[in-house]
Amino acid sequence: MNAKAQALHNQLVHWFQQKRQVQCCNTPSVESARYLELLVNNLLLPIEENLGEISISYGFVGPELNRYIQRHSSVSTAPLLDQHACCEVNSKGKTISLRPGAACDFFVLGFEDKMHEVVLFICQHLAFDKLYFYGRNRPIHLSISDTPMRHLQVMQQNKNGRRYPGKKAFSDNALALAKEL
């Protein structure tokens, strides 16, 4: 793994240490590590090489960190769906996420107020699984899997701040939707 890939991998695994004062094991399993490597090499590195440095705001969530988050700050998390837990299993031996893959939420430095341009680049050039767009000045959620759906989901927010799904599109239609953002 080259230095840039290693730096992104470290951000994916250790992202929570800058946000929370919690010490826990967040080491990915071998299978999860494979998906994290795909996320880095197939999505994050091309974004960095073309647009600029990435800052991970929410990355890999292993079982111990997932338990902590679900107990202390579970608002706006969906561990069954969001692929942040990759292939990790809970204390009952069941996978935390129903969909194998890896995900992260991030900003591209210099694009903090124009993340729609990052979404357009991704839809034009990369084989992603799911991409959630929360707004031009919000981090985007991006995932990879063995069978990328190229699913773009635009999230809306009501008056109370609660997020809900808005427009969505797949494959070439995702590119058309990205151009509307």
Query: What pLDDT, in 10s, does the model give residues 92-126?
Result: 999 999 999 999 999 999 999 999 999 999 999 99
Q: In 10 A of CB 31, how many CB atoms? A: 13
**Domain of 116, in residue numbers:** 3-180
What integer pLDDT is reported at residue 47 of this predicted model? Answer: 98
pLDDT at 166: 96
CB 156 within 8 A of CB 178: no
Tens digits of residue pLDDT in 64-75: 988 888 887 766
Q: How high is the pLDDT of residue 75?
A: 65
* Count of the separate structural domains present in the chain: 1
Q: How is residue 98 annotated by DSSP? A: S
Half-sphere exposure of 146 (CA within 13 A, CB side): 7
Q: pTM score, two decimals?
A: 0.93
Q: How confident is the model at residue 81 (pLDDT cuts 50, 70, 90)?
A: confident
Q: Please tell me the distance from the alpha carbon of residue 135 to that of residue 138, in angstroms, as a whole number.
A: 5
